[in-house]
Structure formats: C-alpha cells, structure tokens
Amino acid sequence: MPRLSGGYRLYDPGSVARLELIRTLRESGLGLDHVRAVPAGETTVEEVAATHVTAVDTQIRTPRVTRAVLSSVARRGSTAAEMTLMLCFLGDTPRPPGWRGCRPPNANASLRSSWTRCSTASTRRTR
C-alpha cells in the first residue's frame, strides 16, 4: 500500500469503497462474522440486512412486552404468581395446560383485560 509523504496510506477507489462498506455495516450493529461475509461474497448486503432487521425487531419487542407486563403488575398490585403467568408473553415461561394462547381459562375480567393489553403490546409491530 503506497504512502504519502506524511506517512498516510493512499487507498485506491475500490479499497475506499470496501472500507466504507465495512464501516457502514459495523455502525449498523452487525457482528464481525456478518461484516466479513459480505465483502467475501458469502452473502449479500440485502440478506444480512433482512436478518439484522429481524433481530432488531425482537430487541424492540422484548422491552415493550416487559414494560406492559410490569405496568399491569404495578397497576393491579398483582401477586408474584400472577406476574409469573403474565411473563408467558415473553416466551420464556411455559403456558399451563388449558390456556387459550396466554390467557388462563378462568381469569376474572380485570385479569383478562391485563392479559389483553400485554398481548396487544407483544404483537404490535414496528415499521
């Protein structure tokens, strides 16, 4: 790589474009494996972007659902058992038998309302 008199490297236009692509991919939060795969021709920018959008959607959804559950627990003065049941919306807590979706079959109106709010928050998409 040629250098200028001040010691700076002199890059050709193709190298500059490659470095800009790498910097752009890193700044958009992609991991090094994905960043390496694009210039190597193992995948396309479009494929990597689509995968990354899905990951970002999940990262956005999780705190929204958590906030909805915690808000409902705080508002209702829920017990620890009720909170555990509501956390099924996060996907980590198994649903008990007999439930339709994530709502218990014998929940009172107030509890059903809380579940509905959490369910709405968990399925809302960001565009």
Q: What is the pLDDT of residues 66-111, one digit of tens each?
A: 788 788 888 888 887 777 777 765 555 555 555 555 555 555 666 6
Model confidence band, residue 13 (pLDDT cutoffs 50, 70, 90): very high
The CB-side HSE value for 96 (13 A sphere, CA atoms) comes to 11
Taking the whole predicted model, whether its pTM rises above 0.75 is answered as no
Listed by start position, the domains of the chain span 1-43, 57-127
Q: What is the pLDDT of residues 19-61, one digit of tens each?
A: 999 999 888 888 888 889 998 999 998 998 888 888 888 888 8
d(C-alpha 44, C-alpha 64), whole Å: 31
Side chain identity at residue 24, one-letter code: T
